[in-house]
C-alpha cells in the first residue's frame, strides 16, 4: 500500500464569514486492490512556535558566531536578515542538528536540536546557498534520490518527485542533465529536493542568488506559495531586503551573532509621517516639481526632494500635519494647473530599519565601552 502525500492545502474553517480554526487539508495516494485512491486527511493546525532558541551561543577559537541568541519563530514565512558573518548560516546548521551549540538551547518543531537532529531532518527541508548539484544526472534522478534519502519508498519517491518538479516549473525539463541547466533552473532543483519529502518547515539559504529580476520574481512567488498552498513554514535568508518585504510575514535581524530585532513585516514597514508628492509639468510650468515646491514654501510648508526614491527628481517629501496637509497640497496643485500623479504616505523599508538598528547598537556599544 502506497501512502505517499501528494498535495497539501491550508484552509480556515469559518463561522459567519470569520475565520476560526485553521486546518491543513492533505490528499494522499493509496494503492488498494489494484486501484489508486485519493484519501483526504484534515489536521487542525495550532498556533505553535516552529523555531525557538534560548541564550543560544556558538563560539569558535577566533570568533563568536552566535551570542546568547533568544528568538521565537511562528508558522508562516520568516526572513532571516544579517550581513555576511552575522551568524545566519551557523544558526541554520545548529537548527538542523549538524553543528552543536556551545551553550543555550534550541528547538525546531518542538524537538531539541541537541538530541533529535535526525528527527528534525526528517521533518525539515533545506535548500543550500551554494551550487552543490551533480551535473551528470537528471533532475528526476537527483530529486528521487533525495526523496529516498528522506525515507520515502521507491514508488512514493517517484510520484512525489514528479509532483514537486511540476510545482517548481521543471516538469518539462525533468529528464535533462542538471549540468545543462541555467542558474534559475538549478535553484529550482535545489528547491524541489527541499520539498520532495513533504516537510513541515523548510530552510532556504539565499534562494534568489544569481537570478535575474524575472527569475527572482518567479522564485519569490514559489516561496510564498510553499506556505499559502501547501501549509509549509519557511525560514528564508536574503541580503536583498526588498525581497523580504514582499515575501515574508515576519523578519528576524541578527548582527554579530546577536538579535537586533524580531517583528512582523507590517511592524517593520509601518507608515511614516512623510508624504511623497509627484506632479506633472505643464506649458506654463515646465518644471512642475519646482513650481509646487516654491508655492508650498510660500505657504510655510517645509519641503524636501525625494532623494533615494525611484524618480526622485520629480518627487517632493513633506511632513503631514493631518488631513489639512493633504487638502493644502491638492489646492496648491489645482491653483498651479498641474496634474497630481500621486500623493501617498511613505512607509519604512526593512533596509532603513536594519541600518537604524545597527547604528543604534554600535552607538550603544561605544557609550557602553
Residue 135 has pLDDT above 80, yes or no: yes
Q: pLDDT value at position 358?
A: 58
Cα 222 to Cα 56: distance, rounded to the nearest angstrom: 31
Q: How far is CA 130 from CA 37, 197, 200, 207, 265, in A?
A: 40, 21, 23, 10, 27
Domain spanning 51-268, CATH architecture: 3-Layer(aba) Sandwich (3.40)
The CATH classification number of 271-347 equals: 3.30.70.270
Cα 337 to Cα 204: distance, rounded to the nearest angstrom: 52
* Global confidence as pTM: 0.69
Cα–chain center distance at 230: 16
Q: pLDDT value at position 357?
A: 59
Long-range contacts at 283-288 (CB < 8 A, ≥ 24 apart): 284/336, 284/337, 285/336, 285/337, 285/338, 288/336, 288/338, 288/339
- State the pLDDT confidence band at 28, using cuts at 50, 70 and 90: low
Cell 484519501 appears where? Answer: 39
Q: pLDDT value at position 365?
A: 57
Q: pLDDT value at position 18?
A: 37
Show me where the domains of the chain are located: 5-44, 51-268, 271-347
Label residue 304 left, alpha or beta by phi (over 0 means left) and psi (-120 to 50 means alpha).
beta
Amino acid at each position: 500500500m502506497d501512502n505517499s502525500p501528494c498535495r497539501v492545502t491550508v484552509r480556515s474553517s469559518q463561522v459567519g464569514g470569520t475565520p476560526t480554526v485553521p486546518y491543513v487539508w492533505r490528499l494522499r495516494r493509496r494503492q488498494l486492490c489494484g486501484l489508486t485512491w485519493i484519501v483526504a486527511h484534515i489536521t487542525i493546525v495550532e498556533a505553535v512556535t516552529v523555531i525557538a532558541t534560548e541564550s543560544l551561543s556558538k563560539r569558535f577559537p577566533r570568533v563568536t558566531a552566535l551570542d546568547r541568541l533568544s528568538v521565537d519563530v511562528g508558522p508562516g514565512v520568516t526572513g532571516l536578515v544579517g550581513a555576511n558573518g552575522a551568524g545566519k548560516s551557523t544558526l541554520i546548521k545548529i537548527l538542523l542538528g549538524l553543528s552543536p551549540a556551545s551553550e543555550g538551547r534550541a528547538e525546531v518543531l518542538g524537538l531539541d536540536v541537541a538530541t533529535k537532529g535526525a528527527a528534525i531532518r526528517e521533518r525539515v527541508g533545506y535548500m543550500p546557498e551554494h551550487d552543490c548539484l551533480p551535473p551528470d544526472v537528471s533532475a528526476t534522478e537527483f530529486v528521487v534520490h533525495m526523496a529516498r534519502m528522506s525515507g520515502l519508498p521507491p514508488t512514493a519517491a517517484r510520484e512525489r518527485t514528479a509532483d514537486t518538479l511540476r510545482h517548481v516549473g521543471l516538469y518539462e525539463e525533468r529528464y535533462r542533465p542538471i549540468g545543462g541547466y541555467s542558474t534559475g533552473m538549478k535553484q529550482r532543483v535545489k528547491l524541489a529536493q527541499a520539498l520532495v519529502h513533504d516537510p513541515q518547515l523548510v530552510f532556504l539559504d539565499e534562494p534568489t542568488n544569481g537570478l535575474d529580476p524575472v527569475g527572482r520574481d518567479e522564485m519569490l512567488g514559489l516561496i510564498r506559495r510553499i506556505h499559502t498552498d501547501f501549509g509549509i513554514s519557511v525560514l528564508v535568508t536574503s541580503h536583498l531586503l526588498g525581497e523580504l518585504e514582499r515575501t515574508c510575514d515576519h523578519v528576524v535581524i541578527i548582527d554579530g551573532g546577536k538579535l537586533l530585532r524580531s517583528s512582523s513585516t507590517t511592524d517593520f514597514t509601518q507608515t511614516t509621517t512623510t508624504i511623497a508628492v509627484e506632479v506633472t509639468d505643464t506649458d506654463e510650468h515646465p518644471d512642475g516639481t519646482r513650481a509646487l515646491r516654491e508655492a508650498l514654501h510660500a505657504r510655510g510648508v517645509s519641503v524636501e526632494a525625494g532623494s533615494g526614491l525611484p524618480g526622485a527628481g520629480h518627487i517632493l517629501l513633506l511632513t503631514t500635519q493631518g488631513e489639512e496637509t493633504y487638502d493644502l497640497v491638492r489646492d496648491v496643485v489645482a491653483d498651479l494647473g498641474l496634474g497630481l500623479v500621486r500623493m501617498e504616505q511613505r512607509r519604512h523599508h526593512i533596509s532603513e530599519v536594519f541600518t537604524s538598528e545597527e547604528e543604534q547598537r554600535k552607538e550603544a556599544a561605544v557609550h557602553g565601552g
